[in-house]
Structure 1
Amino acid sequence: MLYRTTTDSPVGTLTLVASDAGLVAVLWPDDSPGRVRLAAAEERANHPVLAAARTQLGEYFAGRRRDFDLPLAPVGTAFQRAVWAALAAIPHGETRSYGDIARAIGRPTASRAVGAANGRNPLSIVVPCHRVIGASGQLTGFAGGLAAKQQLLAHERR
């Protein structure tokens, strides 16, 4: 069973989705329904995982939290989960390229596949896919839009 609620943030109203095992997704206001495929979720704002996620996201945006301490339960392939684990290891306020992530997971020639897995990250912000940039240092695609990506990176540099 999946549960959902929404939370307001400086980058828009985010939809939080959880199972009893952990946080499953943090979705953007205009997220494409095909980017993260989920079963129907019941509205349940008081679910403990959702309440903790809402609190921790509030602390993050208030500048009082750098890392999240939530049970996570994303659904993905073994490759995607490896990429998402590498994303979670990027320190607050730092960035990495897709090639850096490919090397970190032991697949140095898989930059494009890393980009695809990064784009399917269901746990935006909590698993910081916004910290991945192009090899040239340019901001690249982001499910929440490039303005939100830039805003998140600027927030973390403060």
Structure 2
Amino acid sequence: MKFPSILLQTCIETSQGPVWLAASPQGLAGLWFAGQKHLPAQLAIGPSWQHADDHPVLQLAARQFKEYLAGQRQVFDVPLDLSSGSAFQQSVWQALLDLPFGTTTSYGALSERLGTPSAVRAVAAAVGRNPVSVLVPCHRVLGARGDLTGYAGGLERKAALLRLEGTLTVSMADLPRSAPLFAEPSI
């Protein structure tokens, strides 16, 4: 992924642990949980983007994200900059933005919606590389049988987000390893 050369960042404490936020002049370019897969080197090695706690987009994103985690927000209105991905990745991320709060879909259904039914793996890879976790709701994408699969922020965190949205009503610890978590995806 290629991020804009000028990004500002901040780190906030949340109920899901530390979260890194990054903004470009166009909008929020990243939201990553500490330790998640695909964390940009600029953050993983040591923050090299300029720190800016008072940046308006970072403040707005931090406030709205915390409201979401507190169950007080279902829709975000933070301007986004998804230019770090390829055209294909950006199309997948745009499709994710159409998934409403409290719904889920499968990688296959998302691939079909994009008009690329044979590109399920490519769609799944793009979902996994989403640079703006939660605001671009990649956590709402499930496996073909409705099972909880893949999340760069970790499956426990994905389960917590889905429980918050009311689409997962049991704990991961209560399920056998191979059991689907949902009868069928709802989108």
What TM-score does the superposition give when structure 1 sets the normalisation length?
0.94
Q: Distance in 1 between matches of 2:106 and 2:96?
A: 10
Q: How many residues align?
A: 156
Deviations 1:29-48 (A, max 9, x none): 1024xx25465410101001
The answer to whether the 8 Å contact 2:111/2:118 transfers is: yes
Q: Give yes or no for the alignment of 1:55 onto 2:59.
A: no
CA distance in 2, matches of 1:152, 1:121: 16
Aligned to 1:9: 14
Match of 1:128 among 122, 133, 137: 137
Paired with 1:123 and 1:28, the residues of 2 have a C-alpha distance of 10
Alignment of 1:41-52 (within 5 A): 41-52=49-60
Q: Which residue of 2 aligns with 1:99?
A: 108
Where in structure 2 are the equivalents of 1:99-118 lying within 5 Å? 99-118=108-127
- The CA RMSD over aligned residues, in Å, is 1.4
- Alpha-carbon distance between aligned partners in 1 of 2:129 and 2:39, rounded to the nearest angstrom: 6
Instruction: Work out the CA distance in 2 between the residues paired with 1:126 and 1:6.
Output: 16
Offset, 1:20 = 1.5
SS in 2 for 1:18: strand
Structure 1 unpaired stretches of 5+: none
Paired position in structure 1 for 2:73: 65
SS at match of 1:103: helix
- Matched-pair contact (CA < 8 Å) for 1:36–1:120: no
Is the Cα–Cα contact under 8 Å of residues 36 and 154 in structure 2 kept in the other structure?
Answer: no
Pairing 1:149–2:154 present: no
**One-letter code of the match for 2:23?**
A
Structure 2, unaligned stretches of length 5 or more?
1-5, 43-47, 168-187
1:66: how far off? Answer: 0.4
How far apart are residue 7 of structure 1 and its match?
Answer: 1.4
Name which one, 1 or 2, has greater alpha-carbon Rg.
Answer: 2
Per mean C-alpha deviation after superposition, the further-off stretch among 59-68 and 124-133 is 59-68
CA contact (8 A) 1:93 1:156 kept: yes
